[in-house]
Chain A
Amino acid sequence: MAIFISWFVYFFLLFRFSFAVFEDQVGKFDWRQQYIGKVRFAYFDTQSQASKKLLLATEQNVVASLNSRTGDLFWRQVDKTGPEGQIDTLLFHGQDAVVIAGNGRLLRSWESNIGGLNWEMVLDTGSFQAAALIGVQDVVKYVAVLKKAAISLHYLSSGHQKWVENLPDSDTIQYQSVYSAGGTEVLVLGVVPHSHLTIIAFNIEDGEIMDQRSVDAPWLSSLQPSCAVVGPGSLVCVDAVTASLYVLSLNKEDRAAMQQITLQALGLEVAPGFQPTVLSTQPNPARPASSQWFLQLDLDHYILLQLTGGLISPLRDFKPAFLVSFATSGEKTVAAVLAPKNETSCSVSLFSADSGRRLLDTTVIVHLDPNGGMPEKLYVQAFLKKDDSVGYRVLVQTEDHTLTFLQQPGRVVWSREEALADVVTMEMVDLPLTGTQAELEGEFGKKADGLLHMVLKRLSSQLILLQAWLGHLWKLFYDARKPRSLVKNEVTIETLARDEFNLQKMMVMVTASGKLFGIDSKSGTVLWKHYLRNVQANAAFKLMVQRTTAHFPHPPQCTLLIKDKETGLTNLHVFNPIFGKKSHISPPVLARPVLQTLLLPLMDQDYSKVLLLIDSEYKVTAFPSTKNVLQQLQETASSIFFFLVDSSQGRLSGFRLRKDLSTELIWEVVIPPEVQRIVAVKGKRANEHVHSQGRVMGDRSVLYKYLNPNLLAVVTESTDTHQERSFVGVFLIDGVTGRIIHEAVQRKARGPIHLIHSENWVVYVYWNAKFRRNEFSVLELFEGMELYNSTVFSSLDRPHLPQVLQQSYIFPSSIRTMEATLTEKGITSRHLLVGLPSGAVLSLPKMFLDPRRPEVVSEQSREENLIPYAPEMPIRTEWYINYNQSVSRVRGIYTAPSGLESTCLVVAYGLDIYQTRVYPSKQFDVLKDDYDYVLISSVLFGLFFATMISKRLAQVKLLNRAWR
């Protein structure tokens, strides 16, 4: 019987929890954008003119191929994060993209057309120094990999090692460069800083040392970036101290010492404090390097020089010039120079490398986005036109990680916002009302100026509404005549308006590079972007919505807190989230590091929420700090509490605001950091609503939830990492009184911990060190069968501790991130959205994580719809909300309520961005797409007429009866 019932329960569950999308719904409510990150290496396919391939390797450890006509991805290979997967170098030849990754650990070759792996080799340990393609008799055959103590040569076709040789005296000599001119030998260049230079020639065939010599170079500290091989066999170095160029012949026969040429003799001068660099090019690895090279003497000063027969002659001086690059097409080598033109644009020009002459009609204008950064890298693709002149396209990477591909004379072919590969935090903001709606709203907002005025205003607004309606009709009529394909629903910043159910919102995304984006959630179009120039690389961000769009005519307002992690100094960027414009409101200047922020529900007269910033001297700064705000703060000061966490000392402390905006310490909890360290502190989301105060039990009594809005979940990890003794501690602490509500220890557990804290429950995921598996644990808090004070919750007046229930489950996958769904009123049941390493986002019903799941099924638990306890949590593929649209390296999931109670908007971000909607309790408040309106209305009308007729008939019958 019990089995049958449990089967029956599962049978129904199967029906309840099918959330998968239908085939025809794919892409209807969701979109995904794939990114690659900041580019480190880029190559154009120069094999054929028609090739559209662009090969890139990025700081996000991604190797990718882009379509150079459209900017779309051909393929992408994502390696591990961190130094393990870091791409040391990318070499490209023919169809093969050779990648060395993980500090010289792996040598891989990717097929550049389809992104398949040709071969992979695990290299010997040793830190990576350099790599080069080696050609023999005009054919590139080998890859040379130079490590700290060895050099190895591999076949390009199979990856097999041809030979490996140890380098002599590798503990004193730093080998830094490898070069081959296509002859019979490979040159390895090493340096002993401030002493001498070592050149070793290896035989390509067997790795035998053919020649070894040292040259005195007491001025030289490192080969990169001040030295380069130029021409058939000369090493050119530049030194700032002696203000000289040094030329050394690498030929075996030529045993001459370094030839010094002072820069003064060439009429050149190094800018003070600048480390000059030499930039050369080797168009074909099987041929010698070109004799022309660039010398950089200042940030914006480059010189093109030529080395012929030991003589250096300047060809052309470029000043100002931001970036230079060589490009080769066929036999022609050209130099591209990016120079500033005016405030808002730069120009790229092409020069013949042989003569330094400017090529005619080769200027490309690069318009600089005022909300973007300066150009940082320049890659040039040169090609020969039909008339044998050189044409070219350029790929420009700017400081804000934007890739722009330009064509002559300055047309942007495509651009990619690669900053979005590293989203740090985001918010969703409601879109504003349309002009007409706003007009109506505005009427109520204004103050009355007499009866006549009001009547006139009403009439005028009605007229405007009429006009808008007519305009709308006209547009419908006009569009109807056009073929359907031409009618585009493009989203622009002008046409932005809130839809009926508030399903379309503005996604404000903050990226690690300091660039802010406003993205339309429906289509994924970037509507605005803003680059913050002075953001440090390691800054921490916090984004807050101070004023929503609900307060017309006041514009919505977002505040971004940018904190420098080293100095702790903070500045605020206040902007309008719909248009991205910086607000004219000047934020307070913060002289001291900010420890904590608090967004109060208090509003000033302009409806912007008050933000409190607590600095390192425990003084509070209010923003905005108008008189009205200060007065409100004085009135409510005694009920404003905040907490600080110092994880290095394990100290949690609570403070209360005083009337003069200073603070006083009121409680302190210290968790000794010698035993366990705090890894996460999480409160509840401020915009969360809980609809039901309790749970109805099987016997119709109510178990009330403990809904403390001030509750903090603090998670610690033990410092002892031994698998038997390690533990994870969970503390539930009231943020106002500092009272520890609950304290639990998960034995034999380790991080990484993921945590969700919502309503009356906390869910955390940990690694079970003993059984080597991931486990979920859920804590639920209940007040009991009756509420202490049902009207209002005060942390100061809740003397009884809640009942805490806890249960744990095994989860069959590891987890990258976790978030709970959120809906408008909190009626819809909750789901957990779990980002898995596979790229899937799993929607896990909270019902499965319920500590009241019974071990033995009883009548009451069945009544309550509790699922019998099973230690393992299932993963069903139909729970994947992103079907096959994997989100690489998902780092965060953001949820926002929509205007429909059933619908929750979800954005998963990582390397990719994926946006969709989820319906945790199905679409109970929406009619289906294929709802039969005709049927229901015909039934209605039919019933109506039937009533009419039968009424008439009844009347006739009554009349007849009366006559009888």
Chain B
Amino acid sequence: MRKGGIKEKGKGGTCLGEEEEMGHSQTRGRKRDMEEKSEGGACLGSKNEWAADGMDTEAAGFSVPLEHSFEIDDVPRFRMRGSVQLRGGREHAASLWQSPLTEEDRSMLKAVAAVDGLYRIRVPRVSVQTDRQAERQMDGYLTAFLPACSMVESHLSDVITLHTDVTGYLIGVSIVTIPGTCRGAEVEEEVDLEAFNTTLSFMGPVTAPAPETALYIERMEHEMEKKAKNPQEQKSFFAKYWYLILGGAVFLMATSSTQSPPGGGREQS
């Protein structure tokens, strides 16, 4: 399993509050504008990540929008939650940038949790292999869900895993919260539901083991060698314990044979 998780708190305040309905490339553009504007402001947490990439983000990586939806009527209407910034290389280094929930969203999430609604996320079907930029986009999304209450009760601390196939296409997304239960615990809206505490990880296929013949043969040869080296010891071992083996065999034969020894009569006296 290849994991490139980065734990990150979106301390970004309200700087992305209004741009929910945007496509991801647009968002990126706008976001950078915003950062420039609010230098040293509320978006500092996320800015560090961006600053690390500097200006060469276009060349080395790209970002995937992460959208979420929680509605009282349970009809999904996806809005931007954040974006996953992918960088090239085999280790799938990625970082997550996400905006905190607005006040409206917070009360909505609580309301959805109260009616046992769902919290859904989705990501587009893309290839995370950066060298395949041109062909990476495919139509459709990958979706996953969670009961909204567990999102609320875990205080927005979730684990998002992006699953890739052998060629690096995203094939699935999963979201769990820790803890995952819904006990009906009281949650304070302002303090607990403000920012996401997300662990993002990638999971690719592991290579299943093939039958290990080489090691086995090696071991057998080793044993053969050992046997060849000191045959006396081997012999003496059997000579030493032959009665045990014989006894064991006799015992087994006695237990497995169906006829009991005629000892019943003697027991009576």
Q: Which residues of A contact B (CB under 8 A)?
A: 1-4, 15, 638, 656, 664-672, 675-676, 727, 729-730, 733, 737-740, 742-748, 768, 775, 777, 789, 796-799, 806-810, 855-856, 869-872, 928, 930, 932, 935, 938-939, 942-943, 945-946
A807 touches B223 (CB 8 A): no
Segment from B6-14, B94-102, B201-209 that makes contact with A:
B201-209
Q: Given that A675-B166, A743-B205, A745-B166 are contacting pairs, would A808 and B211 also be in contact in the complex, using a CB cutoff of 8 Å?
A: yes
Give the 6 A-B residue pairs with the shortest CB-CB distance, closest first: A942-B268, A669-B172, A739-B174, A797-B180, A871-B211, A799-B176
Asked if B232 lies at the interface with its beta carbon under 8 angstroms from chain A, I say no
**Extra contacts besides A666-B118, A737-B144, A738-B144 (8): CB < 8 Å:** A665-B143, A747-B210, A768-B210, A777-B209, A797-B180, A871-B213, A943-B268, A946-B268
B1 CB to nearest A CB, Å = 8
**Chain B hits for A806, CB < 8 A:** 208-209
**Chain B hits for A870, CB < 8 A:** 216
B145 touches A675 (CB 8 A): no
In chain B, what residue has the closest Cβ to A736?
B145
**Chain A hits for B166, CB < 8 A:** 675-676, 727, 729, 745
Q: Given that A729-B166, A797-B150, A935-B260 are contacting pairs, would A745 and B208 also be in contact in the complex, using a CB cutoff of 8 Å?
A: yes
In chain B, what residue has the closest Cβ to A768?
B210
B138 touches A775 (CB 8 A): no
Q: How far is the CA of A666 from the CA of B161 in the complex (A)?
A: 17
Q: How large is the interface on B (under 10, 10 to 19, 20 to 34, 35 or more residues)?
A: 35 or more
Asked if B44 lies at the interface with its beta carbon under 8 angstroms from chain A, I say no
**Chain A hits for B203, CB < 8 A:** 740, 743
B150 touches A796 (CB 8 A): yes
Q: Contacting A939 at CB < 8 Å: which of B165, B174, B264?
A: B264
Q: How far is the CA of A24 from the CA of B170 in the complex (A)?
A: 60
In chain B, what residue has the closest Cβ to A776?
B211
Q: Contacting B216 at CB < 8 Å: which of A808, A871, A946?
A: A871
Asked if B108 lies at the interface with its beta carbon under 8 angstroms from chain A, I say no
B142, B146, B176, B210 — most chain A CB neighbours (10 Å): B210
Asked if B62 lies at the interface with its beta carbon under 8 angstroms from chain A, I say no
Q: How far is the CA of A945 from the CA of B141 in the complex (A)?
A: 83
**Chain A hits for B213, CB < 8 A:** 810, 871
Q: Contacting B264 at CB < 8 Å: which of A664, A807, A942?
A: A942
B258 touches A670 (CB 8 A): no
**Chain B hits for A768, CB < 8 A:** 210
Q: Contacting B163 at CB < 8 Å: which of A638, A656, A740, A942?
A: A740
A737 touches B145 (CB 8 A): yes
B264 touches A729 (CB 8 A): no
A740, A870, A928 — most chain B CB neighbours (10 Å): A740
The A/B interface has a contact count, at CB < 8 Å, of 161
Type the 1/0 row for B140-178, where 1 means its CB is closer than 8 Å to any CB of A: 111111110010000000010101011101011010111
Q: How far is the CA of A721 from the CA of B217 in the complex (A)?
A: 30
B142 CB to nearest A CB, Å = 6
A745 touches B125 (CB 8 A): no
Q: Given that A638-B116, A730-B208, A942-B268 are contacting pairs, would A668 and B142 also be in contact in the complex, using a CB cutoff of 8 Å?
A: yes
A668 touches B208 (CB 8 A): no
A-B contact pairs, 26 of them (CB 8 A): A669-B171, A670-B125, A672-B171, A729-B165, A729-B166, A733-B172, A737-B144, A743-B165, A743-B204, A744-B206, A744-B207, A744-B208, A745-B208, A746-B207, A797-B180, A798-B176, A799-B159, A799-B178, A855-B212, A871-B211, A871-B213, A935-B260, A938-B264, A939-B267, A939-B268, A943-B267
Q: Which of B210-265 touch A at CB < 8 Å? A: 210-213, 215-216, 219, 223, 227, 234, 237-238, 241, 252, 256, 258-260, 264
In chain A, what residue has the closest Cβ to B120?
A666
Asked if B189 lies at the interface with its beta carbon under 8 angstroms from chain A, I say no
**Chain A hits for B38, CB < 8 A:** none
A675 touches B169 (CB 8 A): yes
Asked if B41 lies at the interface with its beta carbon under 8 angstroms from chain A, I say no
B72 CB to nearest A CB, Å = 14
Q: How far is the CA of A253 from the CA of B140 in the complex (A)?
A: 77
Q: Given that A670-B140, A942-B267 are contacting pairs, would A869 and B180 also be in contact in the complex, using a CB cutoff of 8 Å?
A: no
Asked if B36 lies at the interface with its beta carbon under 8 angstroms from chain A, I say no
Q: How far is the CA of A666 from the CA of B177 in the complex (A)?
A: 17
A671 touches B171 (CB 8 A): yes
Q: How far is the CA of A638 from the CA of B145 in the complex (A)?
A: 13
Q: Given that A667-B145, A942-B267, A943-B267 are contacting pairs, would A869 and B258 also be in contact in the complex, using a CB cutoff of 8 Å?
A: no
Q: Contacting A2 at CB < 8 Å: which of B140, B223, B256?
A: B223
Q: Contacting A777 at CB < 8 Å: which of B74, B163, B208?
A: B208
In chain B, what residue has the closest Cβ to A653?
B143
Q: Given that A667-B143, A669-B142 are contacting pairs, would A745 and B206 also be in contact in the complex, using a CB cutoff of 8 Å?
A: yes
Q: How far is the CA of A935 from the CA of B138 in the complex (A)?
A: 79
B174 touches A808 (CB 8 A): no
Q: How far is the CA of A797 from the CA of B205 in the complex (A)?
A: 24
Asked if B181 lies at the interface with its beta carbon under 8 angstroms from chain A, I say yes
Q: Which of B43-74 touch A at CB < 8 Å? A: 74
